[in-house]
Structure 1
Amino acid sequence: MKPLFLLFLWVSFFSFSQEKYPKNYFQNPLDIPLELSGTFGELRSNHFHAGLDLKTQGKEGFKVFAVADGYISRIKIQQYGYGKTIYITHPNGYASVYGHLSKFNTKIEAYVKRIQYKKENYETGNLFPKTDAFILKKGEIIAFSGDTGGSGGPHLHFEIRDTKSEHVINPLLFGINIPDSKSPTIQSLLVYPLSPDARINQQYNRHKISIKNIGNGKYRSDRISASGTIGFGVNIFDRLDNSWNKNGIYSLEMLVNGKRQYYHDVSTFSFAESKYLNLLIDYGYYKKYKRRIQKTFKEDKNELSIYKDLVNNGKINIKSGFNYTIEIIAKDIAGNTSAVKIPVKGEKSNAVFKKQKDTTAYKIIADKFQKFKKENITIAFPKNTFYQDIYLDFTVDSGVAKIHTPSIALNKSYTLTFNVSKYTTQEKEQLYIANTEYAKYPRYVNTRKKDTTFYTTTKTLGKYTLKKDSLKPEVKILYIDNNQWITSAKTLKVKVSDVDSGIKNWRATIDDSWVLMQYNHKKGILTYNFSDKILAGSKHIFKIVLSDNVGNTTERSITFFKKQTK
């Protein structure tokens, strides 16, 4: 009877979750068969995925529709992030979001272009049109799918938000149907000692436990012996029908001798809490092995709202002489289930654990502001930058600051400052702060310059140094020769690159008048569309000035001939 009762509880809970949201209010945002490359709540770098990533057959330009009546409440264009984005407010208390668009419909495009040309900037920031500027009907074309912003390929990012709380909600709870008959895949299982007296197989360290897939979503593990307080973690992915993408799961549950001790699901969350994903996962394991282990216990500083029915925060007290059956259950939003059972024998251990002594002078007290200096480098940590007290490794060798390792997640940014008083004015102009964790690929970090100091703020520990960039960016005007007639050309494209500090900005003009060039940073291509403005006469001069992050500048110009065509 117990399995049937648990099934009834799951079906009841899932039905309740589904019934909270209207099922037939929103239509699909695309008119092609819906396939997902990314699911809601997937574990991403430092955040949960806030929507659905809808595949567009590897192409751009599919029509994007308003999913319900409403008005456009916000438009945003940025180089990274969601790229070209539309936000629609609906009268039922929800808002829909459409990201990575290639272009808007004619009316919206004209509105945005006017602002871009007025500001002489591709990035608009947040635009808030009047509520009656763009009134939309359900099914109206608002834009076309694309690959703008921080997209990894053509697709539509789609969200539904609660307009009151600004929480994002899983769009699949609103009746969008994606074929899914596959159970999640459990890849690996880890167990953790969580108290000083805890022992696992006579040792005090994290253990990876072998598991075997016995079919139909069922797994079993090797038996372990343990004592004290322990916790578990699993690496899991889910696949949808007709797709090989490794997607996220919907819920994770843990039973101890048949009783629920841990549960979370990703039906909704706020952007403010998304950073606590780094406490949900084993962050150090992820940084080392690039696999995200989801813990079935809650860390003390974890403020995620996704948890329900926690007993002792999911931590299990193992008593000597008792046997335990731990079952970890993963579900996708369609209800497909996988579960692994772990037999645990409570066995007192005589193994003595000697904690390695920390000798570093740089001790972090998490709830205090702390500042340390070594040679010409200073690091300053606001209180609660770290989630717990730690001993920090801080060394400087040949101008490279090693600030611990990037295996610890931070709650806040800290400040890293270099004293540059020994450099000449010209040298300082070409210097920038770089993250050199991967020595072959130094990465520019936002460098703020004062007379005698350079500083940056970051949430990433690791290696940093000053790098010199004396090379100008490279610019190549594509497909056009000087003094060429290009009457039939619809666009003008420029290939740009910079090997050191990276491209910061550009300014392009035709006949000394600013023109809008959209940057595809993945391909390094800037594109101007001739339909933007009417050119007077037939002879024209195109000029572009490109700057990198330290101010090195390259200028190119070309004369072309083009008759205005309708």
Structure 2
Amino acid sequence: MKHFYTLFLLFTISLSFSQRKYSQSYFSNPMDIPLVVAGTFGELRSNHFHSGIDLKTQQKEGVPILAPANGYIYRIKVAQYGFGKVLYVKHPSGFTTVFAHLQKFAPRIQKYVKDIQYKKKSYYTGNLFPEEEKFPVKKGEIIGYSGDTGSSGGPHLHYEIRDSKTDKIINPLHFGLAVKDTRNPIIEKLMVFPLDTNARVNNSNQKSTIPIKKINEGKYIAERIKANGSIGLGVVTFDRQDEAMNRNGIYSLEMHVNGELVYYHDLETFSFAESKYINLLIDFEHYGKFKKKFQKTHKVSKNKLSLYKNLINDGKLIIEPLASYNVEIIAKDFEGNASKLRIPIKGVSKNELEVKKDTTEYKITAVNFNKFQKENVTIAFPKNSFYHDCYLNFDVNDGIAKIHEPTIPLDKRFTLTFDTSHLNTKEKQQVYIANVTKKKYPKYVSTKKKENKVYTNQKTLGSYTLKLDSISPKINLVNFADQQWITKNKTLKVKIKDEESGIKDFRGSIDNEWVLMEYNHKKGILTYDFSDKKLVGSKHIFKIVVSDNVGNTETISTTFYRKP
């Protein structure tokens, strides 16, 4: 018992210190509106942890973004996906702040970016690194406006704080951001994992969900578990702040066995390099099948996450016959609101079971290069693509290559190759590889071509096939018509769409000169701003050329009139 209280005291001091070691006043709020969180730091996302916090912008774009401290803008990027329009600000304190999914930048930055876009004749800028003295910023200065660009699910600000030297990301809430949260996290489900072939859970060697019920606010209890040998636990849990209904991530997860802390992790900081190990923190197989993320309260081999603290036996429980165990899993949010799940476990004698071996002819030895071929399909996995040895299901039927299911996490990309020697010249131009794991929604994947084959590098197992795209993209005029006077228009808009392989590129021009078309890929809208350039004369020819991912193109040329 003395050992437990010493551990608990050290743990409490450590937790308290971690929340005080960052300045609470150095950074001011990045927006002058009440801060409501739509997504928490370290939240469980697909193949990665959320690297910042998402702040609501009152369901609108154009909220001014303020520099939270003195510094200078050292990096800018405009991209179709990912962060969209993003600014990076370095501060003399040794931190970098990041502002993503912006609608536009402050005027002087906007002009700098547009000049480069016109020089490159491309909407996409790549990474821009202005000289340090180019864009100094003062605390509270407007540096941009909130938006919905990139891979955003609606208007919001994605905000990050990074260590400028290590590039590790730090939870912004540690720096004094005030977010109202008095709610306890919710614990939704419990799973038990037999961790070797000799372990038993309720007379089975298969993982299983255990019913739980809520006793009162913040307290849950599970059905009694009968077990033997090495087992692990996992929970589905989430948090909600006071002013939003979003299912946000928790801050910390811990487990006690008979009063002793045996497992703890929190979301104070992590590096981008380790974010992929989220697939070992969760039950990836269950997520692949049912889209529910069970967070394990035990650390598995190959997991290199730095989130863990004070682990005993990596959080794995050794259940002895006739022994009783009182297990408690505690989920907390950043404010310390907690929910507790009590799990009674009774040790029983091991029953004998016939353990079926999961074998196929496609055995993966993780430390080796693995390559398999069937019909016109070849799959090749680099060394250490898998975290452990396993067997794959691999088959080709009706042109569909089924490479297991997306239930095994990969550390590296594998190469999928289709032989296309049976296609004619035109078909070879039109062919692409599509992910058809979701049969109703075939999805183009980046396809590279050689004379008699096409291939792609992917990090997700599943079903893939060849498809042909012979249909050109569609272009429709939105806010003007051919031969129309549009003097009052501030912008010129067209809608583009491609049903098959998807839009790859576009090029707009007025009077044979390239013009910048801002692309909202979620709505398929291209927008030209007339303030970019003064047009000479009243009659103008607008031309737009759009191409898809296999090279089909569509062109529209139209005339409009506008007073100088």
Find the counterpart in structure 1 of residue 377 from structure 2: 377
State how far apart, in whole Å, the 1-side matches of 2:457 and 2:60 are: 38
- How far the C-alpha of 1:356 sits from its partner, in A, is 3.1
State how far apart, in whole Å, the 2-side matches of 1:203 and 1:421 are: 50
Find the counterpart in structure 1 of residue 88 from structure 2: 87
State how far apart, in whole Å, the 2-side matches of 1:246 and 1:13 are: 28
Residue type of the partner of 2:482? N
- How far the C-alpha of 1:6 sits from its partner, in A, is 8.4
Contact 2:88–2:96 (CA under 8 A) maintained in structure 1: yes
Residue type of the partner of 1:330? A
Find the counterpart in structure 1 of residue 245 from structure 2: 244
Find the counterpart in structure 1 of residue 464 from structure 2: 464
Residue type of the partner of 1:327? E
Find the counterpart in structure 1 of residue 561 from structure 2: 561
- How far the C-alpha of 1:12 sits from its partner, in A, is 2.6
Find the counterpart in structure 2 of residue 443 from structure 1: 443
Where do residues 213-362 of structure 1 align in structure 2 (5 Å cutoff)?
213-358=214-359, 360-362=360-362
Find the counterpart in structure 2 of residue 116 from structure 1: 117
Report the CA distance shift for 1:218/1:224 in structure 2 as closer, same or farther (over 3 A): same
Kindly indicate whether residue 35 of structure 2 is the aligned counterpart of residue 25 of structure 1: no
Listed one character per residue, the Cα deviations across residues 505-535 of structure 1 (whole Å, up to 9, x for unaligned) are: 0000000000111111111111111111111
Kindly indicate whether residue 134 of structure 2 is the aligned counterpart of residue 133 of structure 1: yes
Contact 2:358–2:391 (CA under 8 A) maintained in structure 1: no
Find the counterpart in structure 2 of residue 527 from structure 1: 527
State how far apart, in whole Å, the 1-side matches of 2:299 and 2:476 are: 53
- How far the C-alpha of 1:10 sits from its partner, in A, is 5.7
Find the counterpart in structure 2 of residue 486 from structure 1: 486
Which stretches of structure 1, 4 residues or more, deviate above 4 A after TM superposition?
1-11
Listed one character per residue, the Cα deviations across residues 4-62 of structure 1 (whole Å, up to 9, x for unaligned) are: 98886665333201121111000000001110100101000100001110100110001
Contact 2:197–2:355 (CA under 8 A) maintained in structure 1: no
State how far apart, in whole Å, the 1-side matches of 2:245 and 2:145 are: 25
State how far apart, in whole Å, the 1-side matches of 2:460 and 2:51 are: 23
Contact 1:203–1:351 (CA under 8 A) maintained in structure 2: no
State how far apart, in whole Å, the 1-side matches of 2:51 and 2:103 are: 20
State how far apart, in whole Å, the 2-side matches of 1:330 and 1:440 are: 37
Listed one character per residue, the Cα deviations across residues 149-174 of structure 1 (whole Å, up to 9, x for unaligned) are: 00100000000000111000000000
Give the TM-score of the pair, scaled to structure 1: 0.98
Find the counterpart in structure 2 of residue 416 from structure 1: 416
- How far the C-alpha of 1:288 sits from its partner, in A, is 1.4
SS at structure 2 position matched to 1:241: coil
- How far the C-alpha of 1:76 sits from its partner, in A, is 0.8
Residue type of the partner of 1:277? I
Find the counterpart in structure 2 of residue 164 from structure 1: 165
SS at structure 2 position matched to 1:546: strand
State how far apart, in whole Å, the 2-side matches of 1:4 and 1:414 are: 49
Find the counterpart in structure 1 of residue 60 from structure 2: 59
User: Aligned residue pairs: how many?
Assistant: 563
Query: Percent identity, aligned pairs only?
Result: 58
- How far the C-alpha of 1:400 sits from its partner, in A, is 1.1
SS at structure 2 position matched to 1:126: coil
SS at structure 2 position matched to 1:500: coil
State how far apart, in whole Å, the 2-side matches of 1:254 and 1:178 are: 27
State how far apart, in whole Å, the 1-side matches of 2:43 and 2:354 are: 37
Where do residues 166-245 of structure 1 align in structure 2 (5 Å cutoff)?
166-245=167-246
Report the CA distance shift for 1:177/1:7 in structure 2 as closer, same or farther (over 3 A): farther
Gaps of 5+ in 1: none
Residue type of the partner of 1:349? K
Gaps of 5+ in 2: none
Find the counterpart in structure 2 of residue 511 from structure 1: 511
State how far apart, in whole Å, the 1-side matches of 2:294 and 2:354 are: 25
Contact 1:204–1:353 (CA under 8 A) maintained in structure 2: no
State how far apart, in whole Å, the 1-side matches of 2:415 and 2:364 are: 15
Kindly indicate whether residue 70 of structure 2 is the aligned counterpart of residue 69 of structure 1: yes
Find the counterpart in structure 2 of residue 550 from structure 1: 550
SS at structure 2 position matched to 1:285: helix
Contact 1:194–1:229 (CA under 8 A) maintained in structure 2: yes
Contact 1:77–1:85 (CA under 8 A) maintained in structure 2: yes
Report the CA distance shift for 1:57/1:4 in structure 2 as closer, same or farther (over 3 A): farther
